[in-house]
Structure 1
């Protein structure tokens, strides 16, 4: 049996904490973790038993694989600290978990013979516990030097994850897709929540009413794919309902409805009769709602 490399995690926030605990559970030795504040280090070490440090340079000497889970703005800072510390060694692997940046940002570490790369989990982490629950089974976007890609791929597989080898030049597009699938879904649900709360006691009650619809939709997508799971007035070619929606919606939500309606038209493809497609296309045109401007309609 091949011995797994020791891991050091620099920056034990939500993701770093989850990675440390899950990697340990998968048979990796977590040789050190770091945090910015003494209280955080002490609390995490007490909770997990992992050796914890404030000193990134010292911690980095203890691992075969160094994973930087710090915020994006701190990546250059921590990298400069490690390079200037002059303690990195040949054969080590350094990875970061940024979604928008490729592994090449760690290139200065190569002067020590360190292979560099990235492994970004395609997942959202609201807190430490949900991070631990959600990380296993997630896809990881991986790129970098050959040795770094191999190490990241093995770790991702051991965590039960799927591997996405995203070309470095496509990393921003990848991150935009992740943003749409996560952040914008949250924003869309908040819009629906606000609309529905007009007839409920509060937004929380509205959200609870919406969640079965959302989970059912996600289940359909998982089983059938996005195109086959599409329902609603647009895919039915129901221009009358679309028109009624546009007339009834508060003005601040019209542009969102129209933009998503146009994307829905494309997804529906030839399932819509051409005549109905043209009518709906015109309804969703941005200049078709000018008469609503200034009417003062809004959601509480």
Structure 2
């Protein structure tokens, strides 16, 4: 009986679900020399799109895929993962893995009860465009949660993909996924706030983003080179309380919500400035006093 102890290149890998993450991961594994054997999806067009670039990738009903594949990735929406695991028959020795960041591995309890090895495999990357995501996946981090032979297999796949591995203890997936949001969609939110401020004097998003995005790239480069604290720019990092005071006044004139978000974000930056040594406790206290003044 095939199982995950086979060499990685010989494993029959199947995907249940052919959404954006499933397509990007399947294409990436195929490009890395892995054997993507089959896909099952309620959307025939999506299944065909996943299978099209992969030689000999078959489109199967979910149970046939589970019967034939050594390692099954469940890449459905989070709410369907447990239902898929519960409705299928699994076998001893095969691996069953979901790719959700927030769903606990316990959602695969039925597969584990049937004798399968279960785990999580979550790429820390964005998947709005599957083809672009497949190209940007190398160098990313993939968070795995598994034990024993399955853990070794998943670590091998991470290596094949040219990625780094992050191993997560049980019970931490929702917390981990929330943290990832700060580095992904909340950048959109923060830039959205900046664009909205530009729009207050008549500028457009098309004018604002070309000016703002290079600053984001520069900040990320500084963080990579020097770390969070020493890589932080801005008036708080250099103890410029006067500029912070001007910011608060200007944004308070604009609207209360904008000023409140600025105050909260700016307060969170004070501890980083202290850690970097850019300000002393007296300057930190002065900045915090400006930011904590009750809004009129």
1:68 aligns with 2:66: no
Q: 1:139 aligns with which of 131, 141, 166?
A: 141
* TM-score normalised to structure 2 length: 0.90
Q: What corresponds to 1:279 in structure 2?
A: 286
Aligned partners of 2:246 and 2:100: how far apart in 1?
43
Q: In the alignment, which residue of structure 1 is the partner of 2:93?
A: 91
Query: Where do residues 247-266 of structure 1 align in structure 2 (5 Å cutoff)?
Result: 247-249=249-251, 250=254, 251-266=256-271
Q: Supply the distance in 2 between the matched residues of 1:199 and 1:21 (Cα, whole angstroms).
A: 45
Instruction: Give the corresponding residue for 2:87.
Output: 81
Deviations 1:58-115 (A, max 9, x none): 1122211101111111111111221xxx3x2211001111101232321221222210
User: In the TM superposition, what whole-angstrom CA distance separates every residue of 1:26-82 from its partner, at most 9, and x where no partner exists?
Assistant: 111111012222222334433444534362111122211101111111111111221
2:176 to 174, 177, 181: 174
Matches within 5 A, 1:196-207: 196-199=198-201, 201-207=203-209
Task: Give the Cα–Cα distance (whole angstroms) in 1 for the partners of residues 156 and 55 of structure 2.
Answer: 24
Assess if the C-alpha contact under 8 Å between 1:200 and 1:206 holds in 2.
Answer: no
Q: 1:103 touches 1:117 (CA, 8 Å); kept in 2?
A: yes
Quote how far apart the aligned CAs of 1:235 are: 1.5
d(CA) in 2 for partners of 1:283, 1:116? 52
Q: Distance in 1 between matches of 2:53 and 2:226?
A: 42
Q: Equivalent of 1:237, from 232, 236, 239?
A: 239
| Count of matched residue positions in the alignment of Structure 1 and Structure 2 | 285
- How far off its partner does 1:144 sit? 2.2
2:8–2:157 contact (8 Å) kept in structure 1: no
C-alpha separation between the residues in 2 aligned to 1:229 and 1:167? 30
Q: Structure 2: where are the runs of 5+ without partners?
A: 1-5
- Separation in 1, partners of 2:98, 2:171: 16
| Structure 2 equivalent of residue 267 of structure 1 | 272
Deviation per CA, 1:122-154: give whole Å up to 9, x if none: 111111122212222211111123222112111
> Any conservation in 2 of the 1:7–1:30 contact (CA below 8 Å)?
yes
Cα distance, 1:199 vs. partner?
4.4
Please tell me whether the aligned partners of residues 37 and 54 of structure 1 are also in contact (alpha carbons under 8 angstroms).
Answer: no
3-state DSSP class of the match of 1:61? helix
Task: Map 1:1-300 onto structure 2 (within 5 A).
Answer: 2=7, 4=9, 5-53=11-59, 55-82=61-88, 86=89, 88-199=90-201, 201-249=203-251, 250=254, 251-269=256-274, 270-285=277-292, 288-291=293-296
Equivalent residue, structure 2, for 1:295: none
Contact 2:19 2:46 in 1 (8 A): no
Instruction: Please give the TM-score of this superposition, normalised by the length of structure 1.
Output: 0.89
CA–CA separation in structure 2 for the residues paired with 1:235 and 1:45: 51
